Structure 1
Amino acid sequence: MPSPPRAKVLHLERSLLYHFAGITDRVGGSMHMLCRDRYGLSPAAWRVMAHVGELQPITAKEIGLRAAMDSVNLSRAMGQLDALGFLKRHIDPADRRRIVLQLTPAGQSAYDTLVPLSLEAERTLLAELNAQERATLRELAHRVWERSRRLFDDTDQETSF
């Protein structure tokens, strides 16, 4: 009698999703604790602050698209930044329908403190890679990020695996 088909095995040691999650938990967890302990920022609020700090002025819609954040989490994060006095909103003089976001002086100060710490965490994590390997990793990560946006950002379309 033939044996039943063997179930597929995940092999966690080779799973990119497993490795991405672990890296995010370890490195992101340390960064998130720092943001929370020093400034009272949630991980989502730090992500929004990072986008505003880099690209200001920027709209909430643009942040949502760039950061792959849904409107509920984005709204909560912006509310937290508002409550902490880190975010200001104003009407775009070029298009009065747009509300643009910028960091307040306190928000800019927090951003200016957190960015070097974030960059140092990344440098430490990638220290064992040479320059070419780091460049390749960044390129491949960007391509995977873009692919994930194409597959999962359209909430009206179901993705089948």
Structure 2
Amino acid sequence: MSRRMSSIFAGLLKPYGITPEQWSVLYQVHLQEGINQKELALRSGKDQPSITRILDVLDKKELIQRKPDPADRRAYLIYATPAVQELMKETIPMELKLNDELIAGITDEQLESLNRIMDQINKNIDRILME
């Protein structure tokens, strides 16, 4: 189901030349300019190597800028270029509309139940990874 939803979103993003993975990272940078790479990985649910790879692509596409973190010489802070503002202005409404279409016919009660189940699965995953 996740792959199918991602595929639909990928189709919507295709004219913009970005993938859903890249979009989710750009969205987090859009929400917090100057975010560090570690926090970006946490918020987007991706591991460090994946974030680095995605940021390399976004940098080549001139959608982000990396600036040295004054608090940590080994780290970088990530900033969106002006093009991202326009990209988000156009794509956030598409993503919200898709989300509404995906949950059509599902009650708030059912969504709350699903969220509790997904939270528990995530806790189980975290526990397994810590073993």
Shorter-chain TM-score tier: 0.7 to 0.9
- 2:31 is aligned to 54
- 1:28 is aligned to 6
Give the CA deviation at 1:130.
1.8
Q: CA RMSD in A?
A: 2.2
- 1:99 alignment partner, SS class: strand
CA contact (8 A) 1:85 1:104 kept: yes
Counterpart mapping for 1:1-161 below 5 A:
23-35=1-13, 37-93=14-70, 95-97=71-73, 98-152=75-129, 154=130, 157=131
Count of residues in correspondence between the two structures: 130
**TM-score, normalised relative to structure 1:** 0.68
- 1:4 is aligned to none
Letter in 2 for 1:56: E
**Structure with greater proportional helix content:** 2
Give the CA deviation at 1:106.
0.4
Q: Residues 144 and 44 (structure 1 numbering): CA distance in 2 closer, same or farther, change over 3 Å?
A: same
- 1:41 alignment partner, SS class: coil
| Unaligned 5+ runs, structure 2 | none
Letter in 1 for 2:2: T
Give the CA deviation at 1:123.
1.0
Give the CA deviation at 1:96.
4.7
Q: Residues 80 and 67 (structure 1 numbering): CA distance in 2 closer, same or farther, change over 3 Å?
A: same
CA contact (8 A) 1:57 1:101 kept: yes
CA contact (8 A) 1:44 1:74 kept: no
Paired with 1:130 and 1:51, the residues of 2 have a C-alpha distance of 28
The one of the two structures with greater contact order (alpha-carbon pairs below 8 A, sep at least 6) is 2
- Structure label with greater radius of gyration: 1
- 2:65 alignment partner, SS class: strand
